[in-house]
């Protein structure tokens, strides 16, 4: 991919959201294989951490396969100088872009002044963006929300657009709403209006509560965003972006086989690095909607390696 990959993407643009502890290299590879999005993002990585003596431990967050391209590395932090140095490292890893997290509502991130807390310090946010852009020729994008404890869409987005990022992904909630209630897509529509009023070339990606491709298309038509980012709805459904295959039309065995493939890939990539138990959320999502799945779920939750997952699935398939 070129350094300006965002400009070469055909609209509408579909993006796989960065989700901590979920969208690691194993899951992103499975998604790329069965329903490739237009853009994928890594889990967020600390810019401070990449500049520390313990940086090697963070590189597992930055593993990716060429089939995922374009792939964007997401960073979080508060120090513009650390962002500059971290981005130089990211650039050497051959990513296609850099994304800055300005929307994470997690209390441990926010109390450091990072993530969604940057909405309260727009001057610092802009300095971080500019330092990141100065460090690289890769396109720089931002993922954010519409406010911290109140909606400040127009004011906040105006700040961000002034730095001329390649793209802004807007989650339609304020920080204090976390992931509760309905996303404010009317505010996401306002972001597009602000962008157009400023005659900015920044792409606007909408995010929040998208459950299907059909719904994604409707939201794009209603709000005029350039694309949609999907998060929680893709868990257990790597076919989400596949226009030819829908999970609900697949046989149970086909879904379970991909789950087993996911487990083995996770084990291959992260043996002695990540706890196998982190796959449990994925297992639960894969079998969501299955009839009489209570026993299957219990057995999967007790698995400690991929071989055990395969044995559970083989028993399940034998009684279908």
Give the count of alpha carbons within 13 A of 42, CB side only: 26
Count the neighbouring beta carbons within 10 Å of the beta carbon of residue 238: 28
For the chain, first and last CA: distance in Å?
44
Q: CA of 130: how far to CAs of 88, 123, 190, 238, 279, in Å? A: 14, 11, 24, 35, 37
Beta strands at 39-41 and 71-76: parallel, antiparallel or unpaired = parallel
CA distance 285 to 297: 10
Q: Where are the alpha helices (DSSP H) in 2-149?
A: 5-8, 25-35, 47-50, 80-92, 107-110, 122-135
Q: Is 303 a catalytic residue?
A: no
Count the neighbouring beta carbons within 10 Å of the beta carbon of residue 126: 16
C-beta separation of 115 from 76 below 8 A: yes
CA distance 217 to 211: 11
Catalytic entry in 15, 51, 104, 303: 104
b/e sequence 32-49, b meaning 16+ C-beta within 10 Å: bbbbbbbbbbbbbbbbbb
Element (H, E) at 261: helix 252-270
Known catalytic residues are 104
């Amino acid at each position: 991919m070129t350094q300006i990959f965002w400009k070469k993407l055909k609209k509408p643009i579909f993006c796989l959201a960065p989700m901590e502890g979920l969208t690691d290299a194993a899951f992103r590879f499975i998604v790329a294989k069965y329903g490739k999005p237009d853009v994928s993002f890594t889990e967020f990585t600390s810019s401070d951490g990449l500049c520390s003596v313990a940086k090697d431990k963070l590189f597992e967050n930055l593993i990716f396969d060429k089939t995922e391209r374009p792939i964007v590395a997401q960073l979080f932090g508060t120090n513009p100088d650390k962002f500059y140095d971290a981005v130089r490292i990211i650039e050497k890893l051959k990513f296609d872009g850099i994304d800055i997290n300005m929307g994470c509502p997690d209390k441990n991130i926010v109390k450091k002044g990072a993530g969604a807390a940057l909405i309260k310090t727009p001057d610092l946010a802009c300095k971080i963006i500019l330092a990141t852009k100065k460090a690289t020729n890769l396109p720089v994008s931002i993922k954010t929300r519409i406010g911290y404890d109140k909606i400040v869409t127009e004011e906040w987005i105006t700040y961000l657009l002034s730095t001329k990022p390649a793209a802004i992904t807007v989650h339609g909630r304020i920080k204090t709403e976390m992931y509760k209630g309905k996303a404010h897509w009317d505010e996401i529509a306002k972001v597009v209006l602000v962008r157009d009023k400023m005659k900015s070339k920044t792409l606007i990606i909408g995010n929040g509560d998208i459950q299907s491709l059909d719904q994604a298309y409707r939201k794009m038509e209603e709000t005029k965003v350039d694309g949609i980012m999907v998060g929680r709805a893709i868990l257990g459904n790597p076919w989400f972006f596949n226009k030819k295959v829908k999970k609900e039309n697949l046989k149970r065995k086909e879904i379970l086989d991909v789950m087993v493939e996911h487990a083995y890939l996770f084990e291959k990539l992260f043996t002695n690095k990540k706890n196998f138990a982190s796959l449990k959320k994925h297992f639960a999502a894969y079998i969501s909607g299955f009839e009489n799945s209570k026993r299957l779920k219990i057995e999967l939750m007790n698995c400690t390696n991929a071989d055990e997952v395969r044995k559970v699935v083989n028993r399940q398939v034998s009684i279908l």
